[in-house]
Amino acid sequence: MIKKLLSKVFGRSASPRARLRIIPFDQHGVARNRVSGSALRVTSALQAKGHAAFIVGGAVRDLALGLEPKDYDVATDATPEEVHALFRRSRIIGRRFRLVHVMFGPDTVEVSTFRGRADGGGEGDAVRDEHGRILRDNVFGSQEEDAIRRDFTVNAMFYNPATQEIWDYLGGFADLRAKRLRMIGDPVERFREDPVRMLRAVRLSSKLGLEIDSGTRAPIRTMSDLMQNVPAARVFDEMLKLLLSGHAKECVVRLRREGLHHGLLPMLDVILEQPLGERFVMLALENTDQRIREDKPVSPGFLFAALLWHEVLAAWKGHEGRGMKPFPALQRAMDEVLSVQEKKLAIPRRYDAVMREIWSMQPRFETRAGRRPFALLEHPRFRAAYDFLVLRAQSGEQPAELAAWWERFQRAEPEERNVMLQPDTGPRKRRRRRRSGAAAAAVSPGGQ
Ligand code: ATP
Ligand code: MG
């Protein structure tokens, strides 16, 4: 109400100043042949029907930085129904805001209709929760309004492949040149509308090498608690993007610096305080970043297994200390850690099986005699479990010699492997190993 009154009295002074600058090709250098064929087909088909259609958001930003966009978004004045009618392989999705997915082979181009203002400037107000978080804003608007409701100025540029022009209402291009990540409008208000923007600020600044503008950065520290009101599944999606951005280590360091890691990676609070835990987590993140940069696949399950390992380890040792046998103690520890994390971080259950396998295979690396090492080698999850052991060894939690032995063992010829086996397979020890091995098989899902 008050806001409406204020904006009546003062016009739209509370809204960011928007002035369209059209930036020609010779200034930004983004040639249309760098744009994905699928996105080009979408914009040209829409334009042929007389609609406005631009590539928008992260793709324009990445192209202007000389990077290859991960995915393409198109913004248009056509309604979702009009877009859907134009493309045979397309479907209307989304409840919060309806948009169209247009499919070409493996590519999906996301097409959205220009969206109106969320703050009452448009014909319908957004629905908010008691903290000011926007729950729904489903109003179509002008291109300018569409730019203003985006998060950062560098994410609000439009590229028209037909003319090779960038349309920039909010100075995003100048900010990009200055390597500055700046929130559109009043940062406090925009973080309140959607606290996930704080995470996006950290992720995008790390990934793109941009400095978060001081006005944008300042409120984060005091507003970080608002993350608690965001549905856990949304936090998880954004965290996954962050962890798989290729800059996970830097992001986590920055999250801590901004005080944003509470409630996101609650376990990190505790783990990072122990030197061994911190070293292990940082190595895991570095390792993930490296794999992503080399275009190798990474498994989120592996990463979560690593982030939670020292919690599992502490609980495991705790149960052992209270007299439980090692394998049931590990089993109990895994159950506890997973159930707590499910509530806090909403790690979906589909990752549980991988995490459990990786963890419960760890004690099996300690047996280096008899047939068991051969059986472990055949396990479908061997590679992941071995990579995990390497991280443990690098962080100093396990002897380097153990990881080195397994490295050699897997590469060795069959006869050489027999020679490598530890000779201490006397009857007494063998009996003991057999018992613990049987218990290991019982906790391992692979052994069940
Ligand atoms: P990425 O490189 O991760 O894809 P991106 O900026 O493209 O980065 P997307 O999640 O694909 O991120 O979002 C596409 C665009 O939608 C953004 O560039 C931005 O314009 C807008 N957007 C995304 N999330 C928000 C948000 N929380 N608030 C406002 N605008 C957003
Ligand atoms: Mg994107």
Instruction: Give the position, in ligand 1's atom list, of the atom nearest the Cα of 193.
Output: 28
Residue whose entry in the numeric block shows the structure tokens 């249309």: 32
Type of residue at 112: S
Instruction: Give the position, in ligand 1's atom list, of the atom nearest the Cα of 71.
Output: 4
Instruction: Give the position, in ligand 1's atom list, of the atom nearest the Cα of 73.
Output: 14
Is residue 81 within 8 Å of 92, Cβ to Cβ? Answer: yes
288, two tokens? 């993930």
Atom 12, ligand 1: residue with shortest CA distance = 58
Atom 27, ligand 1: residue with shortest CA distance = 197
Type of residue at 40: L
Mutate to test the pocket of ligand 1, among 36, 117, 150, 292 (most ligand atoms within 8 A of CB): 150
End-to-end CA distance of the chain: 62
Q: 276: which residues sit within 8 A by CB, 6+ positions away? A: 310, 395, 396, 397
Give me the half-sphere count of Cα atoms (radius 13 Å) on the Cβ side of residue 248: 27
Instruction: Return d(Cα 148, Cα 296) in angstroms, integer.
Output: 37
Instruction: Return d(Cα 353, Cα 349) in angstroms, integer.
Output: 8
CA 285 to ligand 2 center in whole angstroms: 22
CA 314 to ligand 2 center in whole angstroms: 39
In the β-sheet with 165-168, what is the strand arrangement from edge to edge? 21-23, 165-168, 157-160, 53-56, 72-76, 107-113, 99-104, 90-93
Is residue 166 within 8 Å of 157, Cβ to Cβ? Answer: yes
Q: 198: which residues sit within 8 A by CB, 6+ positions away? A: 191, 220, 223, 224, 226, 227, 258, 260
CA 261 to ligand 2 center in whole angstroms: 23
Q: Residue 6 has what pLDDT?
A: 44
Closest ligand to Cα 241: 1
Q: Residue 118 has what pLDDT?
A: 59
21, two tokens? 């600058």
Instruction: Give the position, in ligand 1's atom list, of the atom nearest the Cα of 58.
Output: 7
Closest ligand to Cα 56: 1
CA-angle at 273, arms to 267 and 274, nearest 5°: 100
Nearest to 21, CA basis, from 169, 236, 120? 169
pLDDT tens for the 448 residues of the chain, in order: 454 444 444 434 346 788 999 999 999 999 999 999 999 999 999 999 999 999 999 999 999 999 999 999 999 999 999 999 999 999 999 876 789 999 999 999 999 999 987 554 444 456 777 787 776 666 789 999 999 999 999 999 999 999 999 999 999 999 999 999 999 999 999 999 999 999 999 999 999 999 999 999 999 999 988 988 888 888 888 888 999 999 999 998 898 888 887 766 655 666 666 778 889 999 999 999 999 999 998 989 999 999 889 989 999 999 999 999 999 999 999 999 988 877 766 788 889 999 999 999 999 999 999 999 999 999 999 999 999 999 999 999 999 999 999 999 999 998 999 999 987 655 554 444 444 444 444 444 333 2
CA 257 to ligand 1 center in whole angstroms: 23
Atom 16, ligand 1: residue with shortest CA distance = 57
Instruction: Return d(Cα 384, Cα 244) in angstroms, integer.
Output: 17
Read off the pTM: 0.82
Nearest to 330, CA basis, from 322, 339, 320? 320
The answer for 396, left when phi > 0, alpha when psi is -120 to 50, beta otherwise, is left
Nearest to 299, CA basis, from 314, 284, 309? 284
Q: Residue 122 has what pLDDT?
A: 43
Query: Measured between alpha carbons, how far is residue 90 from residues 53, 76, 86, 158, 189 in Å?
Result: 16, 15, 9, 22, 35
208, two tokens? 């793109």
CA 374 to ligand 1 center in whole angstroms: 48
Q: Could you list the active site residues?
A: 71, 73, 151
Show the ligand 1 pocket: residues with CB < 6 angstroms.
57-58, 70-71, 73, 150-151, 155-156, 194, 196-197, 241
Atom 15, ligand 1: residue with shortest CA distance = 57
- Backbone phi and psi for residue 92, each to the nearest 5 degrees, phi listed first: -85, 130
Atom 10, ligand 1: residue with shortest CA distance = 58
Dihedral angle over CA of 14, 16, 20, 21, nearest 10: 150
Chain mean position to CA 415: 45
Atom 1, ligand 1: residue with shortest CA distance = 58
